[in-house]
Amino acid sequence: MSHSKHTKRGYSIYIEKWNPSAKKYINTCVLCGCKGYSPALEQEGFCKSREQAVIFRELSRTLPRLELDERGCCADCARILEKV
Ligand SMILES: [Zn+2]
């Protein structure tokens, strides 16, 4: 649902206005829609450029770390799926 009127902004204005490319490092769970920063940000060498270091700092400050599995689900949803 990309046309929802009710957009909750969980991350900073920096990501919204200044550096939209940072959005590709934001993971969204396909089931519950929770957002978090991609674990790719924590990989060694990512923060070697200043821009990437800022992206990491901004995202990690405003979002939890969110790892998605191959289905695009967060760990919580994956656990629920396994039970059913
Ligand atoms: Zn989820």
Confidence (pLDDT) at 5: 46
- 30 CA → ligand 1 middle, Å: 7
- 32 CA → ligand 1 middle, Å: 4
Going residue by residue through the chain, which has 84 residues, state the pLDDT in tens, using 9 for 90 and above: 444 444 455 556 666 666 777 888 999 999 999 999 999 888 888 778 888 888 888 889 889 999 999 999 999 999 999 887
- 77 CA → ligand 1 middle, Å: 4
Q: Which long-range contacts (CB under 8 A, 24 or more apart) does 6-13 make?
A: 10/35, 10/62, 10/63, 11/35, 11/58, 11/59, 11/62, 11/63, 12/58, 12/61, 12/62
- 33 CA → ligand 1 middle, Å: 6
Confidence (pLDDT) at 16: 67
